[in-house]
Amino acid sequence: MNNEAVQKEAGNVTEIYREFESWQVNLGDKTVHAKRMPGFFRTLKNYTQSSWLLFFLVPYLRWNGQQAILFDIEHRQFRFFNLTVLPQDIWMLSLVLLILAMTLFAVTSVASRVYCGYFCFQSTWLDWFTWIENKIEGAPTARRKLDAAPWSLEKIRKKLVKHSIWMVLALLTGISFSVWFVDAYDYWNN
């Protein structure tokens, strides 16, 4: 390489570094506010995430006077409508769970982000919490302005309402998880 080519290359590298200097990087001192993007895939995501409503509703289904689906640890049985799986039948349940896990692995190896983006409970709850935050505090730019603003009654009201709704959703999630293991109607009556 001749001297002129080396100087030109050095000039290109210097120009690239100048571009990097103008970038704004969050070093962890500011809150990152997620933005919900509209469109076809957002609509599809909303429909697939709505399947998680079954998590809240299924424990209240009744079948022959009992909870339709129940992981009854106290009596060592798993009830699925008319089917009762006892500890000696656990190999069948293990086989079903193994097949479901292998299916999940196969699907994610082909379409890696489909499960995480559209079906994963963690993404779903994050999306619900972001939606609540968006409805109460506004778009990400409005949330950044609200965070930067001094404390006022309006800011306290918005933060209090948002966190209260978040706490109710978290409480309902915890209760919904626990009623999969005890009869839902007995749970509320005790």
**Residues 103, 108, 110: CA angle, nearest 5 degrees:** 100
Give the tens place of pLDDT for each residue, 112-137.
778 788 888 888 898 999 999 999 99
Residue boundaries of the structural domains of the chain: 33-189
At 15 the pLDDT is 64
Structural contact between residues 132 and 169, judged by C-beta atoms closer than 8 angstroms = yes
Q: Is the pLDDT of residue 1 over 60?
A: no
Q: Which residue do the tokens 């656990």 mark? A: 90
Give the tens place of pLDDT for each residue, 54-68.
888 889 999 988 889
What sign does the CA torsion over 77, 80, 85, 91 have? negative
> What is this structure's pTM?
0.73
Beta-bridge mates of residue 84: 79
Give the tens place of pLDDT for each residue, 98-116.
999 999 888 888 887 787 8
Q: Which residue do the tokens 């005790």 mark? A: 190
Beta-bridge mates of residue 83: 80
Residue by residue, DSSP assigns the chain as --HHHHHHHHHHHHHHHHHHHT-----SSS-----PPPSHHHHHHHHHHGGGHHHHHGGG-EETTEESEEEETTTTEEEETTEEE-GGGHHHHHHHHHHHHHHHHHHHHHSTTHIIIII-HHHHHHHHHHHHHHHHH-SHHHHHHHHHSPP-HHHHHHHHHHHHHHHHHHHHHHHHHHTTTS-HHHHHH-
At 13 the pLDDT is 58
Give the tens place of pLDDT for each residue, 8-28.
665 565 666 666 666 777 777
At 8 the pLDDT is 61
Cα 67 from Cα 183, distance rounded (Å): 6
Q: Which has the higher per-residue pLDDT, 167 or 73?
A: 167
Q: Which two tokens stand for residue 83?
A: 């089917």
